């Protein structure tokens, strides 16, 4: 029996016929309505003025300063299958992407635009992985399936002091019944400065309910010489106290590498695509880990942390003072616990 109803949660359902309806929202069809695309009428200043209605007239929009734009407002049930976006890189930390499922008042996804697509530090670089791909030159792609039952709303807020012109986007989804056991996508951004007294970054905390953790993106600003990634990741779940149930062995180990990396790489589920080594600049790193094949399943609660440790004289672990940001991705049943207050633009600004 086809319990997925042809909504294509993965390659395994591709051959199955379905009555699900495919729709897509873009600047050319802002509502995704049937027959609703390419209806804009060009004026004389428009690049499509010689072609007329039905051609390329409104491929992008402007995100006005200090405003929130609704990109998608969809009646369910259904599942968002692909999101593509591109804009100049000043928007990567200045614009905040939010997603709301089933008419909830607070977002289940609240992440700076670039970080959601694994482009950290407000930088543009390529990412080649299964759920997230960033392609030349700044084409953001997300393939995380995002089911909803009643309603889906996606917004983007421009907190920059200037308008963001030339914002392009396409959101493709399928309308059809969603399996009863399908959970909702969540993502949360955090930033902290570790200290020698407390060299630990909290990736996420306070998750309540049943679900599974599916991904981590990290942006690391290194303030010390030498190796920076000796710290361990820890997953505290389902009532864990002082000690975690799942404990890693090192930062590069968690992100699929070994022995201090030594070079950048992209792989389907793990990657270290960014290593900034320039004179006069602090070292900066960007990493991702997708738990697609190994989701971290929890029944009641979850907290995830990453230590910031280096080496002292290559003999002792040394606590580090570093500036670390992260995105946690997980699926869970609703309602979700309240997110902490997202830092303002100054609090998100890259080094």
Strands 323-332 and 211-221: antiparallel
How far is the C-alpha of 222 from the C-alpha of 323, rounded, in Å? Answer: 7
**Mean pLDDT to the nearest integer, 85-89:** 97
User: In degrees rounded to 5, what are phi and psi of residue 13?
Assistant: -100, 0
How far is the C-alpha of 326 from the C-alpha of 329, rounded, in Å? Answer: 10
Q: How confident is the model over 273-313, as pLDDT tens digits?
A: 999 999 999 999 999 999 999 999 999 999 999 999 999 88
Q: How confident is the model over 7-63, as pLDDT tens digits?
A: 666 667 778 888 999 999 999 999 999 999 999 999 999 999 999 999 999 999 999
Strands 151-158 and 95-101: antiparallel
Entry pTM: 0.96
Strands 211-221 and 95-101: unpaired
Q: How confident is the model over 109-141, as pLDDT tens digits?
A: 999 999 999 999 999 999 999 999 999 999 999
- Give, in order, the Cα–Cα distances in Å from 243 to each of 247, 250, 297, 318, 337: 9, 17, 17, 21, 22
Q: What domains sit in the chain, N to C, each tagged with a CATH number?
A: 20-175 (2.60.120.1390), 184-338 (2.60.120.1390)
Tokens of 175: 């309308």
Q: How confident is the model over 226-243, as pLDDT tens digits?
A: 999 999 999 999 999 999
Task: Place 2 in a pLDDT band, splitting at 50, 70 and 90.
Answer: very low
How far is the C-alpha of 84 from the C-alpha of 72, rounded, in Å? Answer: 13
Nearest CA-CA partner of 162 in 93, 63, 71, 59: 63
Mean pLDDT of the chain, nearest integer: 95
Contact of 252 with 261, CB cutoff 8 Å = yes
Tokens of 306: 């990453």
């Amino acid at each position: 029996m086809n319990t997925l109803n042809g909504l294509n949660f993965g390659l395994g359902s591709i051959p199955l016929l379905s009555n699900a309806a495919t729709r897509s929202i873009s600047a050319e069809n802002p509502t995704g309505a049937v027959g609703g695309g390419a209806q804009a009428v060009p004026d004389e200043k428009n690049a499509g003025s010689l072609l007329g209605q039905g051609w390329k007239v409104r491929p992008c929009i402007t995100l006005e300063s200090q405003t929130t734009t609704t990109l998608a407002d969809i009646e369910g049930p259904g599942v968002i299958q692909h999101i593509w976006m591109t804009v100049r890189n000043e928007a990567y930390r200045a614009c905040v992407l939010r997603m709301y499922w089933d008419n909830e008042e607070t977002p289940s996804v609240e992440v700076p635009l670039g970080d959601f697509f694994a482009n950290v530090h407000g930088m543009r670089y390529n990412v080649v992985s299964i759920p997230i791909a960033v392609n030349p030159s700044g084409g953001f792609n997300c393939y995380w399936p995002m089911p909803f039952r009643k309603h889906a709303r996606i917004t983007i807020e421009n907190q920059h002091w200037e308008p963001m012109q030339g914002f392009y986007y396409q959101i493709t989804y399928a309308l059809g019944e969603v399996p009863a056991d399908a959970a909702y996508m969540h993502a949360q951004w955090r930033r902290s400065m570790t200290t020698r007294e407390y060299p630990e970054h909290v990736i996420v905390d306070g998750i309540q309910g049943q679900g599974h953790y599916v991904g981590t993106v990290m942006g690391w600003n290194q303030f010390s010489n030498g190796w920076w990634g000796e710290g361990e990741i820890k997953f505290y779940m389902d009532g864990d106290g002082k000690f975690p149930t799942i404990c890693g062995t090192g930062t590069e180990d968690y992100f699929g590498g070994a022995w201090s990396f030594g070079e950048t790489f992209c792989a389907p589920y793990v990657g270290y695509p960014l290593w900034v080594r320039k004179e006069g600049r602090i070292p900066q790193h960007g990493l991702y880990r997708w738990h697609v094949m190994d989701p971290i399943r929890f029944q009641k609660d979850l907290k995830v942390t990453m230590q910031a440790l280096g080496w002292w004289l290559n003999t002792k672990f040394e606590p580090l003072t570093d500036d670390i940001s992260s995105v946690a991705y997980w699926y869970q049943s609703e309602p979700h616990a309240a997110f902490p207050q997202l830092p303002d633009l100054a609090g998100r600004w890259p080094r």
